[in-house]
Amino acid sequence: MTPIKLIIADDHELFRNGLNELLKKYDDVQVVALVEDGNVLFQELEKHTDVAMVLLDITMPNMDGFEVLNTLKNRNSQVKPIVISMHDEGNYIASCAKNGAYSYLLKNTDQEELIKTIRIVNDGKKYFHPQIAEKMINYMSEQSVSENLLSNKEKEVLGLIAKGLTTKEIAKQLFVSSRTIETHRANIIKKLEAKNTAELIKKATEINLI
């Protein structure tokens, strides 16, 4: 059986080397390179075309983890990224998941969990620990501030705007004047501090209003 080839990307040398030593214990895993940022990572990836995955830190100089995830995704790379981060905020986790991370581990994870994750990911499956998934889902369903920001009518109008209806069409559908809808729209834009409808829709989706 050929070992799982991987690269460790982290700007902290001690952590990088420690992880490397730690993984030597496992015969089915082979670390082919240790790199300190995203740029060097992609250089190494060109040399080693058979790398299966990357253990990826988020906070790195030059080219950070998020950029690496994005680049891998855009290049349609077969390399599977496992994020190893010290941040356990839903924000970070959701972004990584969205950008193609196969797993998200905290730096205080024990090695059993790490090797388990590596093996699962090597089978092409994504694996997020229930506690990590919980944090992400909590973040996704957050609506705290936005909860009572908009009135019910405003929420309704916002939904129709996002559907691509024009002011006139919305007015017709809600049996009110176009003026009313225009005012609603203006108020919604003001409340979400957007410049125009485009930004409004973006902000609204960000805080789960749509």
First-to-last C-alpha distance (Å) of the chain:
49
Contact 6, 20 (CB under 8 A): no
**202 scored as a contact of DNA (CB under 7 A):** no
Contact 109, 64 (CB under 8 A): no
Question: From a second copy, DNA, none, which one binds at residue 179 (CB under 5 to 8 Å depending on kind)?
Answer: DNA
Tell me whether residue 52 or residue 171 sits nearer to DNA (CB atom). 171
CB atoms within 10 A of CB 32: 16
Nearest to 59 by CA among 89, 85, 92, 80: 85
CB of residue 134 to a second copy, shortest distance in Å: 5
CA distances to 6, 30, 85, 130, 204 from 118, rounded to whole Å, are 9, 11, 15, 16, 37
**21 scored as a contact of a second copy (CB under 8 A):** no
**145 scored as a contact of a second copy (CB under 8 A):** no
Written in H, E and C, the secondary structure of 58-100 is: CCCCCCCHHHHHHHHHHCCCCCEEEEEECCCCHHHHHHHHHCC
Within 13 Å and on the Cβ side, how many CA atoms surround 128?
20
CB of residue 71 to DNA, shortest distance in Å: 16
* Residues 175 to 204 in contact with a second copy, rule: CB under 8 A: 194-202
**3 scored as a contact of a second copy (CB under 8 A):** no
SS3 56: strand
CA geometry: angle at 77 spanning 76 and 81, to 5°?
A: 120
* Residues 99-138, mask of contacts with a second copy (x by CB under 8 A): xxx-----------------------xxxxxx--xx--xx
**92 scored as a contact of a second copy (CB under 8 A):** no
* Residues 63 to 82 in contact with a second copy, rule: CB under 8 A: 73-74, 76
CB of residue 39 to DNA, shortest distance in Å: 21
Which residues sit at the interface with DNA, rule CB under 7 A? 148, 151-154, 166-168, 171, 174, 176-177, 179-180, 182-186, 189, 195-198
Which residues sit at the interface with a second copy, rule CB under 8 A? 73-74, 76, 94, 97-101, 125-130, 133-134, 137-138, 140-141, 143, 147, 161-166, 194-202, 205, 208, 210
